[in-house]
Amino acid sequence: MTDSFTLADPNTTDEVPQDHKMVIYQMMTRLFGNKTAVNKMYGTITENGVGKFNDITDPALQALKNLGVSHVWYTGVLEHATMTDYTPYGIAPDDADVVKGRAGSPYAVKDYFDVTPDLAVNVKQRMAEFEALVKRTHANDLKVLIDFIPNHVARSYKSDAKPAGVVDLGEQDDRSKAFAPNNNFYYIPGKAFVVPAGANPLGAAVGPKEDHKYFEMPAKATGNDVFSEHPSINDWYETVKLNYGVDYQNNRQHHFEPVPDTWKKMRDILVFWTRKGVDGFRCDMAEMVPIEFWAYVIPEIKKINPDIVFIGEAYNPQVYRQYLEQGKFDFLYDKVGLYDGLRRLMRGEGNTEDITKVWREESRDFGSHMLRFLENHDEQRIASPDFATDPRTAIPAMTVTATLGSGPVMVYFGQEVGEPANGAEGFSSRDGRTTIFDYWGVPEHQKWMNGGKFDGGRLSAEQKHLRDFYGRLLRLSTSSDAIRRGRFYELQEANNLGKEYEARTVYSYLRYTDKQKLLIVVNFSRDKTLKPTIRIPTEAKQAAGLDPNRFLTYTDLLNNAPATGSLTLTLAPLSAYVFEIKPKE
């Protein structure tokens, strides 16, 4: 008698998907509502303008809600180092030697307990204006995400707004030691900080105090783990690294018991914002902070709000599972896997096998916990020559991004109208990205904003068509039972020998629950119309609960097309289809 066993089906996984289908709209808050179109290189806040909390009006939020959005990530809310002078409001000026760009990087936080004065109409009332935005967002049935930047702060960090009794970061450090478990910073004793020789934050213009003589003694370690008094021009020299009890220069020895002072201070910062009604945090460079801190702090914050969301910016697939299970993150970036693979396909360089590798290997049984996207503030715009030039390349790629799994999906403001990020804004050069360092108007986004009407009144027909696609896709992904919580079955193996099924550029799969069965087919080719006959094998039909002996009908929900009984399809270049499968009556 021999043991019988069944090999796992290589076209699917054992993951029972969880319904985590959030749709996140990331906006660079200072750029979103800016109506000024001057766009002078290195322009000041007066010349180039700046968006305010108050510009994010009810009509703006309703337009996002109608697009299918569930969460708004307000990027750059926390007060950060800047070259704009707010001394009349009691805010200490910053030294241009350690500020990147006229506006400054939102990731060089200057006060964890305050919001950036750029975003307020009445600077003295800036926190009240932010609190009103939170209430307005909630009133429009949307949730609020903000950044939590745990790894580093601005060199000029000093909290003016900290609550009574709070001891500032570094205030009680023993600066004679390179490392001490309860120091908040790392030091280079006896050495003064040296501004990188190539630092030139405003080009030909000279910023406040820009003289390469910024004084810091002893020097603090730089944010990207540079334990030297002279970081390079390519380092995060405007920031300093926070100390979570890891002695990096002594074989990374851990000093986690008793709980380090930095852990407690960062917990209190998260509590502060949670109590202001923030619904979640996008955690910057989460892997640069010890996983033990996350395991400690996330449950602490969930005691206050069990539904609060923690999203980790992560780039090492080898530790994804650890950060989800031990670190207690709700979601992690799927950048190195799905984003990178889709980017290659959109540029005509890739292969759909990259998609297979993501679900089969990288996030095999935790795909529901991966945040998927095609743009964010760190990445190049799809419509830029640096990426794909043609924003329509997003049609197949965004369809896969939104429907491959039941986890969250993200759109960056302007993506939905094909913003190409043209021009050199200043510190942010002509690099295909929308600046996070400069004051700027975002031209194609401004056409949708239409002077504050947020009605797309100045968009071209092509842009309206693109935005309509995003809306149809995002609304479908949040309303469909199969996309929200369905299992997955890939159809590449069943079709790769089919006539006109070019498996390098065509990708197809099922998503299904007991209530709904979907067939998704996309064509990444820019120039080929293909006419394959899609085959759904018997084992796939059985897995999805479809009777292999019944005739079926297919209704394209994405493109609002009538039902058909045939799977001989005409796949236009850069096209996507989401068919609902039903037995023929």
- pLDDT tens-digit series, residues 526-543: 999 999 999 999 999 999
- pLDDT tens-digit series, residues 32-74: 999 999 999 999 999 999 999 999 999 999 999 999 999 999 9
Q: Which of 435, 380, 382 is nearest to 50 (CA)?
A: 435
- pLDDT tens-digit series, residues 400-446: 999 999 999 999 999 999 999 999 999 999 999 999 999 999 999 99
Q: What is the DSSP letter of 221?
A: P
Q: Which of 400, 374, 379, 584 is nearest to 490 (CA)?
A: 400
- pLDDT tens-digit series, residues 363-404: 999 999 999 999 999 999 999 999 999 999 999 999 999 999
Average pLDDT over residues 177-184: 98
The answer, yes or no, to whether residue 115 has pLDDT greater than 60, is yes
DSSP per-residue letters across 15-31:
--------EEEEEEHHH
Q: Provide the percentage of residues in the chain whose pLDDT is more than 70.
A: 99
Q: How many CA atoms lie within 13 A of 405 on its CB side?
A: 30
In this prediction, residue 429 carries a pLDDT of 92
Q: Which residue has the tokens 């916990």?
A: 369
CA distance 412 to 393: 16
Average pLDDT over residues 463-477: 98
Q: Which CATH code for domain 486-583?
A: 2.60.40.1180
What b/e string do you get for 1-40 counting C-beta neighbours within 10 Å, with b at 16 or more? eeeeeeeeeebbbebebeebbbbbbbbbbbbbbbebeebe
Fold of 25-169+254-478: TIM Barrel (3.20.20)
CA distance 385 to 449: 24
Q: Tell me the three state secondary structure of residue 300.
A: helix
Q: Which of 352, 345, 341 is nearest to 504 (CA)?
A: 352
Q: Which of 480, 350, 493 is nearest to 403 (CA)?
A: 480
- pLDDT tens-digit series, residues 156-180: 999 999 999 999 999 999 999 999 9
CA distance 278 to 272: 9
Q: Which sign does the torsion angle of CA 375, 380, 384, 389 carry?
A: negative
CA distance 196 to 404: 45
Strand partners, 556: 579
In this prediction, residue 585 carries a pLDDT of 82
- pLDDT tens-digit series, residues 549-585: 999 999 999 999 999 999 999 999 999 999 999 999 8
Number of other CB atoms surrounding residue 566 within 10 Å: 9
Is residue 331 a contact partner of residue 408, using CB atoms and an 8 Å limit?
A: yes
Token pair, residue 62, equals 């309703």
In this prediction, residue 7 carries a pLDDT of 60
Strand partners, 332: 312, 370
In this prediction, residue 1 carries a pLDDT of 38
Q: Tell me the three state secondary structure of residue 257.
A: coil
- pLDDT tens-digit series, residues 471-513: 999 999 999 999 999 999 999 999 999 989 999 999 999 999 9
- pLDDT tens-digit series, residues 311-363: 999 999 999 999 999 999 999 999 999 999 999 999 999 999 999 999 999 99
Residue 5: pLDDT band (50, 70, 90) is: very low
Q: What is the DSSP letter of 222?
A: B
In this prediction, residue 177 carries a pLDDT of 98
* Euclidean distance between the first and the last CA atom of the chain, given in angstroms as a whole number: 46
In 243-400, which ranges are E strands?
246-247, 253-254, 280-283, 309-312, 331-333, 370-373
Average pLDDT over residues 255-267: 98
- Domain range list for the chain: 25-169+254-478, 486-583
Phi first, then psi: what are they for 518, rounded to 5°? -125, 145
Average pLDDT value over all residues in the chain: 97
CA distance 456 to 302: 39
